[in-house]
Structure 1
Amino acid sequence: MISGLRSSVPACAAMFFAGTTSAADIASIHPIGFSADGQIFAYEEYGIQDGSGFPYANIYALDLAKDTYLPGTPLRVRLEDNDATIAKARWQARNDAEALIETHELANHPGELVAFNPITEVDEAPHRLRYRSMPVLPPVGEPNTLVLEEVPQPLDPRCEGLAEKSVAFRLRFTERDGKPVDDAVHEDQRVPLSRGCVGGYRLGGVVSGATPGGTGIEVALVLVLSAGFEGQDGRWIAIPIKTAGPGTP
């Protein structure tokens, strides 16, 4: 299924518009978990804004079937205090999200980070992940190959002088369980304003989970690289690539 982005917010976006925040920081990411029925996935991103030096932490809870935020989310914290720390920002964001996490029992189903490709990795392709969905040895199942393709877009006038290009992206599988396929699972219809002056993406990881009935769930983690004050900022979005579907036991 090709999922489009909503007109008001991007699907699972975790962005700030460049110029309204600080610059040149790559957010860290921490998956929180899935709901028991596989319908919800939550994750946290956090870091220090390079321009201001303020710590921030954001928690996103996503309805995977609808490819939208849950009502009342995302939860964003930025501590504008020179004595503030990342630990304090993360604690406040987690405290704000405590009821949501408990209601959906997200911490009881943390999922597995079955593939990860950080921006510091130099030997792996930034737009491709080949992985198995089951984190076990001996291996179970054959590999999947997920690729991200950047799609050039007209440059937003507000980004002139800040970015040389603007790009959307699509995700597709070229291999599932060891068999060649051509299976598109996401395609941007446009570049949402909340991504800022985006000039590129990195396919950063895959988190897998399962429902009590054994249906597999997978979410791709995409790092969005946008123009910042001193370089490129990196913020995370999560894209459902395999969902349980409504009513799955």
Structure 2
Amino acid sequence: MEKNMKRLGPVVLLLTLAVATTSAGDIARFANLGFSPDSRVFLFGQYGITHPEGNPFAEIYAVNVPDNVFLPKGVQSRTFSRTLSGGQDGSGALYTLLPLFQPLIGQHQIDHLSQGRIIYLFIDGESDPQPRVSFRDFRTGTSYTLDLVQEARGRGADGSAAFHLNLQARYSDGTTLEQQVGRPTLFREGVNRYRIGRVIVSPDNTSLVVVMERITDIAGGRRIRYMVETVRLR
């Protein structure tokens, strides 16, 4: 028994360190909730546990992909005033909120299994990417470059920041698309900077969903929330 406990010691230590690392700050988890059959509507959410209160929260958004705007009644958010037991990640808040979207999900026939393809992914723990990221969709042969242009004012929760993206797409036939995405004059309160988290190609290969991380420096770490910008390619 004592021998087994000695073997478990390093494992327990590693798990403790992992929990401590994960709990540092207030980092939401992104949830891809699927597209409509024509890829014109995208549903996504985020969930987590607030810091330092420890309350579970969730937000769900329905996006008109061609117009890059939310659908009417396409935004729901809620923070629950209860404390979770250890080991929970707040996903229960998302499951509780999702039924409120059933009329919209039915109207647009959102398929939770139709999530498109990730063609760029920032792995947390790596150094922050450069303002310019380049990647390729090997299925379609299209190459992409995204330039992130941002401006910040103030610091911490009292700060604000705005951004836009300059997109260049080069198709396999040699033609190109250049487009500015985002609102460069919209300074979002409580945001210090932005980061490109992932890029998703719609199931019909006609649109991009760029998942942006909104980052705020707080005591004990960072607060990260998500938003998306959508681009029609064809």
The alignment's TM-score, normalised by the length of structure 1, stands at: 0.70
Amino acid at match of 2:97: A
Higher helix share: 2
Greater gyration radius? 2
Q: Report the CA distance shift for 1:190/1:119 in structure 2 as closer, same or farther (over 3 A).
A: farther
Match of residue 100, structure 1, among 101, 104, 122: 104
| Bigger RCO (CA 8 Å, 6+ sep) | 1
After TM superposition, give the deviation of residue 166 of structure 1 in Å: 4.5
Partner of residue 220, structure 1: 210
Partner of residue 27, structure 1: 28
Q: Confirm whether residue 146 of structure 1 aligns to residue 145 of structure 2.
A: yes
The alignment's TM-score, normalised by the length of structure 2, stands at: 0.74
Q: How many residues are paired up?
A: 206
Higher strand share: 2
Cα deviation 1:65-106 (Å, max 9, x = unaligned): 332211123111211101475132121122222222232121
After TM superposition, give the deviation of residue 152 of structure 1 in Å: 2.4
> Is the contact between residue 116 and residue 200 of structure 2 (CA under 8 Å) also seen in structure 1?
yes
Partner of residue 9, structure 2: none
After TM superposition, give the deviation of residue 175 of structure 1 in Å: 4.5
Q: Confirm whether residue 188 of structure 1 aligns to residue 183 of structure 2.
A: yes
> Is the contact between residue 172 and residue 182 of structure 1 (CA under 8 Å) also seen in structure 2?
no
> Is the contact between residue 148 and residue 203 of structure 1 (CA under 8 Å) also seen in structure 2?
no
Amino acid at match of 1:209: S
> Is the contact between residue 152 and residue 165 of structure 1 (CA under 8 Å) also seen in structure 2?
no
Q: How far, CA to CA, are the matches of 2:71 and 2:46 in structure 1?
A: 17
Once superposed, what is the RMSD of the aligned Cα atoms?
Answer: 2.9
Identity %: 21
Q: How far, CA to CA, are the matches of 1:225 and 1:167 in structure 2?
A: 10
Cα deviation 1:40-82 (Å, max 9, x = unaligned): 1110111111121111111110112332211123111211101
Match of residue 90, structure 1, among 90, 94, 97: 94
Q: Confirm whether residue 199 of structure 1 aligns to residue 199 of structure 2.
A: no
After TM superposition, give the deviation of residue 229 of structure 1 in Å: 4.5
Q: How far, CA to CA, are the matches of 1:97 and 1:74 in structure 2?
A: 9
After TM superposition, give the deviation of residue 31 of structure 1 in Å: 1.1
Q: How far, CA to CA, are the matches of 1:227 and 1:87 in structure 2?
A: 24
Amino acid at match of 2:72: P
Cα deviation 1:105-129 (Å, max 9, x = unaligned): 2125322222211332338546524
Q: Mark the runs of 5 or more structure 1 residues left unpaired by the alignment.
A: 1-22, 133-138, 245-249
Q: Mark the runs of 5 or more structure 2 residues left unpaired by the alignment.
A: 1-23
